[in-house]
Structure 1
């Protein structure tokens, strides 16, 4: 056979198709268009005795601990209720529950007081009134079509028994003017400065006729409520020391109101009298416990 025959391998060596395929291309289709790639260096094989880069990649990921976390890390100080002992924590929880129940009851009573007549108020109206009056009475005159156009000030004087047994009468104290001075310029005036005296007088007027006689069952309650406020205010103003020069006891008090009309605006043609009117109540004797400051 001629050495230059077409099928001879003597000059060109064995045909490329008869060569064994490199390890990376074994099993590839014969008609693949990609050129032959010479085999590269063998890939490193991880061995247990010699850990290398491959061994670190093959190592399993760390598993999170299943132990429950500690409620408070070591060294962290507890604050608030958690810093108390279990006994005191129970006490605080009970106190908060009592306060929450009281708030809910008060809101419910106030709602029943201002709500229209219904089955509950018909059956338990007295209990609602006993809860609301006199401290929590609701008043809606601010939203009336014709609001109040008068200034009403409450004044009081007292009969004081001094150390010598003589009874002296003090001058009139304008308590409404004192509250007005405390409110002027005060960004956060107290509720008592704004409403206590006014609401006490409104309560008295609503339960008495023009002759200062009680009407209904709440007449005596309104009298005692107004009287106690007067005694407390006189004690705060130190009226006893001003009257006697030393110590003494308040034996009786008298209250009056001074009503004056608000001047109409300049563009109005309304004519009102600017002369104030007074309403004097009879003298009230002060019980001994109130006179000595036993009621607060």
Structure 2
């Protein structure tokens, strides 16, 4: 191996290692607790990581799921008509249950994106809850929270578009995602016939077809 080849190889290794180090640092920052650095650079980090490198480590005692959540989607056609809602989550679950030995991982795409939409820093959740209890103005979403939600919604809309081939004859102009979260009665009221579910629904903004490519 000539000196030139050694130099080129070392340079490539150094550059590759530096790029990998930067990537890992950004990924770690996205999962780190709230800090001044995250407040300043969080939105840029989220824009870089989503959707292909999004992280959801939940290393320290993740909050267990105690609800049923999923998405519906509808499309706007070229003639201005709007399709009926399509139950994206139900179709994904049916696909998983149809193959017990080699289940589809599609349902994880939806659940991971929904976690990015609904999750936030523990400190911010407590602050907003306290402001709500005190009937004070609630802290609006921070820039990095807005970017994370926007990218998550685009991921959901892109996935829904792929699962709605019959909508608008396969040529929808826009996709709208509706998220639902059904809070189940607590275990302590499992035998209470009067216990009812609580359903929260949120309609996200329409996403144009060009943004899904």
How far, CA to CA, are the matches of 2:142 and 2:206 in structure 1? 22
Three-state SS of the structure 1 residue aligned to 2:160 is: helix
User: Of the candidates 97, 120, 136, which is equivalent to residue 55 of structure 2?
Assistant: 136
* CA gap 1:116/1:249 in 2 versus in 1, 3 angstroms: closer
SS in 2 for 1:249: coil
Alignment correspondent of 1:203: 116
Any unmatched runs of 5+ in structure 2?
A: 130-138
- Give, in whole Å, the separation in 2 of the partners of 1:283 and 1:114: 25
Q: Select 1:277's aligned residue among 195, 198, 201.
A: 198
C-alpha distance 233-115 of structure 1, shift in aligned 2 (>3 A) = closer
Structure having the larger proportion of residues in helix: 2
Match of 2:66 in 1: 150
Match in the other structure for 1:17:
none
Per the alignment, do residues 235 and 111 of structure 1 end up closer, same or farther by CA in structure 2, a change over 3 Å counting? closer
1:253 CA drift (Å): 0.1
8 Å Cα contact 1:260/1:277 also seen in 2: yes
Work out the number of aligned pairs and report it.
189
User: What root-mean-square deviation, in Å, do the aligned CA atoms of Structure 1 and Structure 2 show?
Assistant: 4.4
Displacement of 1:251 in angstroms is 1.9
CA distance in 2, matches of 1:193, 1:93: 43
Q: Which of 122, 125, 150 pairs up with 1:224?
A: 150
Of 93, 101, 107 in structure 1, the residue corresponding to residue 24 of structure 2 is 107
Alignment of 1:54-93 (within 5 A): none
Deviation at 1:161, TM superposition (A): 0.4
Partner of 2:172: 249
Contact 1:161 1:249 (C-alpha < 8 Å) held by counterparts:
yes
CA distance in 2, matches of 1:233, 1:99: 32
Give the secondary-structure state (helix, strand or coil) at the position aligned to 2:85. coil
Match of 1:126, SS state, is helix
The 2-side partners of 1:116 and 1:231 are apart by 29
CA deviations over 1:105-156 (Å, ceiling 9, x no partner): 3334455566678xxx656763366336662254246x25xx4251332212
Q: Distance in 1 between matches of 2:100 and 2:175?
A: 34
Which residue number in structure 1 is paired with residue 81 of structure 2? 167
Distance 1:221 1:214, change over 3 A: farther
In structure 2, relative to structure 1, the CA distance for the partners of 1:188 and 1:234 (3 Å cut) is closer
Runs of 4+ that moved beyond 6 A: 85-92
Moved more, 223-232 or 181-190: 181-190
Normalised TM-score (structure 1): 0.47
Compute the displacement of 1:228 (Å).
Answer: 0.8
Point out which structure has higher relative CO (alpha carbons under 8 A, 6+ apart): 2
What TM-score, normalized by structure 2, do the two folds share? Answer: 0.61
1:235-246 to structure 2, matched below 5 A, reads: 235-237=161-163, 239=164, 241-244=165-168, 246=169
